[in-house]
């Protein structure tokens, strides 16, 4: 696994040991960032970050800041090692070792706003997070924010934001093998 493009392009990334984490492949990340286009100056939230490959790719391509959320000890260790090896330090890169709901509540208390959010939960937990995270996420989105969801094609995720005045518009949906990527824009 490596950083695809930008100032860190070509640098290798460490993947967490074991089968508990499923890193986004280089091919899928490359296609995803082609769909996203320019991320220069954006503030990024990488939920269920795993190795941090998505947020690190965004930083490499000019994102201003990335917050990485990972609760798994092994995955957080690999992510911390990746950030250290690439010399990505606060405030540009921040690792929060917490579950996604707790991290979102903390972000809400701090009145944080994000331009780009990556949501890549373990496939077996996809349905569990949708309603719980959707209740908090809209408050954290900057105007014109984009939310990227990665899920198993057999159980695709639906990003529904009940009560949100700025509901999501699906802008892209692509399948890569067993992986489905959807990009939503909030207006």
Instruction: Provide DSSP, 88-123.
Output: --TTTEEEE-S-HHHHHHHHHHTT--EEEEEE---G
**Are the beta carbons of 172 and 182 closer than 8 angstroms?**
yes
Asked whether residue 114 is domain-assigned, the answer is yes
Q: How many helices (H) and strands (E) does the chain have?
A: 5, 7
Residue 109 is part of a domain; what is its CATH number? 3.40.50.150
Asked whether residue 100 is domain-assigned, the answer is yes
State the alpha helices, DSSP H only, in 2-72. Answer: 26-36, 53-60
Confidence check: pLDDT of 66 > 60? yes
Asked whether residue 118 is domain-assigned, the answer is yes
Asked whether residue 18 is domain-assigned, the answer is no
Domain that residue 100 falls in: 26-142+160-165
Give the DSSP letter of residue 138: G
Helix-, strand-, coil-residue percentages of the chain, each rounded to 5: 30, 25, 40
Asked whether residue 14 is domain-assigned, the answer is no
Residue 46 confidence (pLDDT)? 97
Asked whether residue 180 is domain-assigned, the answer is no
- Residue 118 pairs in a beta bridge with 46, 148
Average pLDDT over residues 96-110: 93
Residue 41 confidence (pLDDT)? 98
Asked whether residue 46 is domain-assigned, the answer is yes
Query: How many domains does the chain divide into?
Result: 1
Per DSSP, the three-state class of 127 is: helix
Confidence check: pLDDT of 151 > 90? no
Confidence check: pLDDT of 126 > 70? no
∠ CA 59-64-65, rounded to 5°: 75
Burial of 49 (0-12, 13-18, 19+ CB in 10 A): buried
Q: Read off the pLDDT of residues 8-39 as tens digits, 9 standing for 90 and up.
A: 999 999 988 765 566 778 888 999 999 999 99
Asked whether residue 81 is domain-assigned, the answer is yes
């Amino acid at each position: 696994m490596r950083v695809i493009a930008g100032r860190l392009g070509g640098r290798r990334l460490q993947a967490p040991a074991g089968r508990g984490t499923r890193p986004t492949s280089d091919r899928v990340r490359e296609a995803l960032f082609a769909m996203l286009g320019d991320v220069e100056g954006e503030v990024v939230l990488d939920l269920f970050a795993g190795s941090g490959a998505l947020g690190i790719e965004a930083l490499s391509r000019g994102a201003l800041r990335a917050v990485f959320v990972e609760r798994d000890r092994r995955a957080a260790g690999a992510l911390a090692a990746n950030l250290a090896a690439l010399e990505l330090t606060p405030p540009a890169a921040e690792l929060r070792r917490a579950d996604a709901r707790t991290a979102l509540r903390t972000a809400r208390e701090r009145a944080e706003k994000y331009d780009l959010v990556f949501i890549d939960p373990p496939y077996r937990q996809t349905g569990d997070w949708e309603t719980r995270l959707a209740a908090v996420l809209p408050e954290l989105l900057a105007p014109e924010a984009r939310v990227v969801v990665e899920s198993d094609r057999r159980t695709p995720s639906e990003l529904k934001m009940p009560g949100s005045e700025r509901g999501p518009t699906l802008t892209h949906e692509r399948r890569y093998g067993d992986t489905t990527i959807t990009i939503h824009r909030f207006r």
